[in-house]
Amino acid sequence: MGVTALGWTLTVAVILALLALDLFVGVVRPHAVGFREAIAWSVFYIAVAVIFGLVLAGIVGWGYGTEYFAGYVVEKSLSVDNLFVFVIILSTFAVPQEHQHKVLTFGIIAALILRVIFIALGATLLAFFSFMFLIFGLLLIWTAIQLFRHRNQDPDVENNVLVRATRRLLPVTDEYDGGRLITRLDGRRVVTPLFVVLIAIGGTDILFALDSIPAVFGVTDEPYIVFVANAFALLGLRALYFLVTGLLDRLVYLSVGLALILVFIGVKLVLHWAHVDLDPSVPEISTPVSLAVIIGVLTVTTIASLVKVRRDPDARAHASVVTRGRPRSAETRTRRRQGSEG
């Protein structure tokens, strides 16, 4: 694409301004988010992402514009899966509603930083080693298989390696102390449960970055598009959480849909590797076709989920489990949620 230094600077400035706005709303002015506010912020972030895509397409052409929108849709769908785990973490540790803003904003910033690192690493590997397209493709196919196998399980957050290590190495109080991460108990410094929650969120961000970066490289090999697609998908995550928290359980086939999308992108990467390294006659899958397939799978998944829940009101969705800790049953999750609500 030949993005200039000025282009990168302006893009990063816009993203940082949006992050600053998120920080102001979520940290400086903590409060419980209502449904109307969540809708307003969600519409705002989606509108910003769409406007950016239209401006990008107008400047560099619809070829790159289509790649951006395909990458954005992929990352947005994966971010919904990310929300499942956030819901489990916040309910498991009974995070007060007025502090959920802070946790989610931290999760977004940490995810963005980690994905910048992985984007740089992935772009470098693809530039120097074309067989990395094969590796990324096989990784996505393996991830999809694991996603499908564990589609009816949730991760056990408290048995996460980082959470266990934190509890073992640091003194942790059982009580929240406002929004503090560190407090004093009996004259000594201890960390609060909020500190442990941030550790769990950070560990989750690492694992989701490992999944999402190869996926978005499957629809574009432009680091700039990979970065902005990730950034705009993540920036709306906080508002989307408060908007769809009560609706996430209804997306019972989300894991199946995501598994199909990851398999499709994995095959696309393998075909691209074979086309470049083995035989130019090997067919490739175009970006417009990719975008159509991704949107189609998500549409069918959503409609099928709503039909399933209408026919079976007890049906519930689960967070995807690949390498995100030991799975736990839906009954365990229900008991924890009931306990946190009480």
pLDDT in tens, the chain (342 residues): 778 888 889 999 998 888 888 777 666 666 666 667 778 888 898 899 999 999 999 998 998 999 999 889 888 877 777 777 777 777 777 787 777 777 777 777 887 888 888 888 888 887 787 788 888 888 888 878 877 877 666 666 666 667 778 778 878 777 777 777 888 877 788 888 888 888 888 877 777 777 777 888 888 888 899 889 888 888 877 777 777 665 666 777 877 888 888 888 888 888 888 887 888 888 888 878 888 888 888 889 888 888 888 888 777 666 554 444 444 444 444 444 444 444
Bridge partners (DSSP) of residue 154 are: 328
Total count of domains within the chain = 1
Quote the pLDDT of residue 47.
Answer: 92
Nearest-angstrom CA–CA distance, 258 and 147:
8
Question: Residue 163's domain spans which residues?
Answer: 5-341
Residue partners of 62: CB distance under 8 A and separation at least 6: none
Rounded to 5 degrees, φ, ψ at 188 are -125, 155
Nearest-angstrom CA–CA distance, 107 and 23:
11
Query: pTM for this one?
Result: 0.73
CA atoms within 13 A on the CB side of 1: 23
Quote the pLDDT of residue 91.
Answer: 75
Tokens representing 61 are 């052409």
